[in-house]
């Protein structure tokens, strides 16, 4: 296992959908309809990243699923011992294109002075494949927006 970011994605399909909350449920494109799982999942991403910052561990773990009806669910957990911050994110939005997934949601149960409960946080991950010849996967620091 690498000491760099690790991400695993289910078979990725290009989903041309942002993170809108209004509008009718999304229908999978006709050519993808055969790939929809029995539970209606049309895209998913899960994984973790581990880094050392200032001699302390930084851990990000995530899972997210987008369904054919347009709903997105999942959880993110982030712990940064170097700045004494931890938080959970209830995933409400995900967009997948190729090997890149953008994941967003609402911060809950934060500790520390960087994040605020009820604000939106988002990040992206890039899965660069498996094997010793594959470049490192990418999972940068979480971003935060203004309160809802």
pLDDT reported for residue 87: 92
The candidate with the shortest Cα–Cα distance to 27, out of 14, 45, 9, 42, is: 42
- What single-letter DSSP state applies at residue 136? P
Q: What per-residue confidence (pLDDT) applies to 147?
A: 54
Residues in the chain: 148
Q: Tens digit of pLDDT per residue, the chain (148 long)?
A: 333 333 443 333 323 334 644 434 444 444 444 455 556 999 999 988 887 777 878 888 999 999 999 999 999 999 888 888 899 999 999 999 999 999 999 999 888 877 789 999 999 999 988 889 989 888 876 676 655 5
CA distance 115 to 131: 35
Under 8 Å between Cβ of 105 and 99: no
Q: Record the pTM.
A: 0.69
- Report the candidate in 116, 117, 112, 93 with the shortest Cα–Cα distance to residue 104: 93
Q: Hey, is 47 helix, strand or coil?
A: strand
């Amino acid at each position: 296992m690498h000491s760099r970011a690790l991400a695993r994605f289910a078979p990725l399909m290009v989903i041309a959908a942002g993170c809108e909350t209004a509008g009718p449920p999304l229908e999978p494109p006709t050519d993808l309809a055969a790939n929809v799982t029995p539970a209606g999942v049309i895209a998913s991403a899960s994984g973790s990243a581990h880094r050392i910052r200032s001699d302390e561990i930084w851990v990000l773990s995530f899972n997210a699923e987008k369904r054919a009806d347009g709903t997105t669910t999942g959880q993110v957990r982030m712990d940064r011992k170097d700045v004494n911050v931890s938080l959970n994110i209830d995933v409400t939005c995900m967009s997948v294109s190729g090997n890149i997934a953008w994941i967003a949601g609402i911060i809950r149960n934060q500790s520390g002075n960087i994040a605020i409960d009820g604000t939106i946080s988002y990040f992206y991950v890039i899965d660069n494949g498996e094997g010793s010849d594959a470049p490192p996967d990418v999972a940068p620091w979480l971003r935060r927006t203004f309160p809802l």
